[in-house]
Amino acid sequence: MTEEKDILYHPFTLGDLQLPNRVLMAPLTRSRSRQPGDIPWELNAIYYAQRAGAGLIFSEATQVSPQGKGYAFTPGIYSDDQVEGWRKVTTAVHKAGGRIYLQLWHVGRISRPELQPDGRQPVAPSAIKPEGAQTYIDEQSGMVDVLEPRALSTEEIPGVVEQFRQGAINARRAGFDGVEIHGANGYLLDQFIRSKSNQRTDEYGGSIVNRLRFPLMVVDAVVGVWGIDRTGIRVTPTGTFNDMHDDDPVATFGAFAKELNDRGIAFIEVVEDSFQGNAVNGRPEAVIKAIRENFKGAYIANGNFSAEEARQRIDAGLCELVSFGRLFISNPDLPKRFREGALLNDPDESTFYGGDEHGYTDYPSID
């Protein structure tokens, strides 16, 4: 297929940012920040610059505060050293001709006291332990079970919104092109949105309107920093990772999409299958339809797509763009490989989290 006819290589304007193709790099936790301090560094700059051929790179999930941390060695965006570290990354990506958004993250209950300031209890909308959820606290312990969290008080919630706002400010200082709010995969915003994890009885729980209140406060705070054209959000309407479930995802995420549409943000990235190996039967077409009907900005589809499946979904009008995760880990030049029909490198799962350049910056390109 010629590039002119291949929809994956049609340019797209996302908000007010011109993308050269529709092959986006999904946010991918790799746990390789410099220690102490969870600081991005030169190794991360090399990794992201290698993948600058993506239409747009979403950075790995990045904690907006010490309280927002849930895994060892993940980067932050709350200290001056972290901002300067991320500036090395954005400079390298831009020098290589790429575009990169920061993903703003607060894990909520998916943490442990060992990872929290002063050994405190992780926070959540409700004091409900996520059954089966685990996190990575250090190289010696490996993956360990998550414990019961502490419910945020009503009075604390504006302070968490402020953590996201300050993270957005710091992302601007670090030279990013925009931001994606992490509202997916069973982390804090997702915990508020979905009915199983949110059992509150105040104005932040119960009805769909109440469960969406805190996430929308975060969106409004971030838009106040970046504007609507450079702000988006990621969601997992039917994902079960981290013990997540919603009683009516069509209604919940249809309503959320409408609220986001009313605000005019640039995009929603939707994880269309479950996450981390939790199988579902096909893609949640009813939820996708509800989001598409209520949100007129760009829809970015994610979920183990092949290049051909991505083309089919775009051609069918089910999305405008597609983000790829695992394939970008092992194929730094993924858009070029898709365009040329080249063989793809297989990812080495044993090197996904933590470690050095092995399984990180040493995957070969076709050149």
Print the SS3 string covering 170-235: HHHHCCCCEEEEEECCCCHHHHHHCCCCCCCCCCCCCCHHHHCHHHHHHHHHHHHHHCHHHEEEEE
For strands 298-302 and 100-105, give the pairing. unpaired
**Residue tagged 């049609």 (tokens):** 10
Query: Is residue 78 annotated as a catalytic residue, yes or no?
Result: no
Give bridge partners of residue 299 from the DSSP assignment.
Answer: 268
Alpha-carbon span 231 to 350, nearest angstrom: 33
Residues 6+ apart with CB under 8 A from 207: none
- Token code pair at residue 296: 């007129």
Q: Which of 174, 194, 193, 160 is nearest to 91 (CA)?
A: 174
Burial class (CB in 10 A: 0-12, 13-18, 19+), 168: buried
Catalytic residue among 187, 204, 299, 363: 187
Q: Which SS3 state, helix, strand or coil, does residue 284 take?
A: coil
Q: How far apart are the first and last CA of the chain?
A: 21
Helix (H, G, I), strand (E, B) or coil at 8: helix
Return all residues near 122 (Cβ < 8 A) that are at least 6 apart: 70, 107, 108, 109, 110, 111, 112, 113, 116, 146, 147, 149, 150
Which residue do the tokens 């469960």 mark?
A: 211
Residues annotated as part of the active site:
187
